[in-house]
Amino acid sequence: MYRRLAELGIAEILGFNVPQFISADDELLVIAMTIITRPFVLDFASAYLERPPRFPPDVLVQWEEDKREQFGERWETVLRILAELRALGIHQLDASPSNIGFR
């Protein structure tokens, strides 16, 4: 995901900072990236590239209910961020207040 964002020159999404890819070591299984401040979007460990995962409709409904509760009045902003990521081919599943941080 970080490589995709780097290739596209994406440093922020709707005003939310995104860590910049520096390098990776496949043998050590590490990624080096920049440190960012709030507001931010980070941690794409549970994201899918290009194609979204397939879940039964009831699982998706429960996921959205849980996320709506976690973010409260900020949920609409989160939805816009997720839509921007999808437009880039990134399907973020782990939308949480620790991964999408507001000021």
For position 37, what pLDDT does the model report? 97
Print the domain residue range for 30.
Answer: 2-101
For position 81, what pLDDT does the model report? 98
Average pLDDT score, the chain: 95
Q: Which residue numbers in the chain have pLDDT < 70?
A: none
Core vs surface per residue 30-66: b (16+ CB within 10 A) or e: eeebeebeebbbbebeebeeeeeeeeeeeeeeeeeee
Name the packing angle between helices 57-71 and 75-87 (round to 10°): 130
Q: What are phi and psi of 84, to 5 degrees?
A: -60, -45
For the chain, what is the domain count?
Answer: 1
User: Residues 84, 17: contact at Cβ < 8 Å?
Assistant: no
Q: 38-53: per-residue pLDDT in tens? A: 999 998 888 999 999 9
For position 45, what pLDDT does the model report? 85
C-alpha dihedral sign at 42, 47, 52, 58: negative
Q: What is the DSSP letter of 66?
A: H
C-alpha dihedral sign at 48, 102, 81, 41: negative
